[in-house]
């Protein structure tokens, strides 16, 4: 059963991933991804960012993405934790964890979940720079990354 959480608080990646495999002997692979806030973007210094989301739809969209991964790959479980609110450079933003019997399925499903999260889950980033605050524009490269999983 996938675990999906949207929260302001930080997470302990080690503890969350350990919980995914605790008490199980069928897990042979655990792939994970942690996204962090960068202190520069396109040559500009970034002092921090604020993440907005659509409560209700966000959780449903993340659960749907995990369900798609479970249907498509032979994986055992999936976890997504995504933070919202005010974040500073170096802060963790998102954690994805996927367990499977063998590594190939876990690697692929983990990447699929991140690619779909970036193009389908209703989060928006507002960056703070020395010139002021501005909303980050969606990138075409993220659409291309998501589209390669089609078909």
Cα separation of 112 and 84, whole Å? 21
Per-residue tokens: 91: 């802060």
Minimum distance, C-beta of residue 137 to another protein, in the bound complex (Å): 7
For another protein, the binding residue among 57, 85, 102, 148 (CB under 8 A) is 57
Binding footprint of another protein, residue count (CB under 8 A): 26
For another protein, the binding residue among 3, 28, 54, 89 (CB under 8 A) is 54
With residue 134 as reference, give the H or E element that holds it. strand 132-135
Query: Please, are residues 117 and 94 in contact by the beta-carbon 8 Å criterion?
Result: yes
Per-residue tokens: 41: 């973007």
N- to C-terminal Cα distance for the chain?
Answer: 25
Residue 21 or 41: the one with the smaller Cβ distance to another protein is 41
Angle at alpha carbon of residue 122, lines to 100 and 66, rounded to 5°: 15
Site for another protein in 77-136 (CB under 8 A): 82, 93-94, 114, 117-126, 135-136
Residue 27 or 63: the one with the smaller Cβ distance to another protein is 63
- Which parts of this chain interact with another protein (CB under 8 A)? 35, 51-54, 56-57, 60, 82, 93-94, 114, 117-126, 135-138
């Amino acid at each position: 059963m996938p675990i999906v959480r949207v929260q302001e608080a930080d997470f302990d990646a080690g503890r969350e991933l350990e919980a995914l495999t605790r008490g199980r002997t069928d897990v042979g692979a655990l792939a994970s991804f942690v996204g962090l806030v960068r202190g520069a973007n396109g040559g500009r210094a970034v002092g921090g960012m604020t993440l907005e989301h659509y409560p209700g739809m966000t959780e449903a969209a993340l659960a749907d993405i995990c369900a798609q991964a479970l249907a498509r790959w032979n994986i055992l479980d999936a976890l997504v934790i995504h933070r919202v609110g005010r974040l500073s450079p170096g802060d963790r933003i998102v954690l994805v964890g996927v367990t499977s019997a063998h590594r190939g399925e876990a690697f692929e499903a983990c990447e699929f979940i991140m690619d779909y999260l970036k193009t389908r889950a209703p989060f928006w980033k507002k960056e703070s720079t020395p010139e002021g605050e501005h909303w980050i524009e969606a990138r075409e490269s993220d659409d291309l990354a998501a589209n390669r999983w089609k078909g």
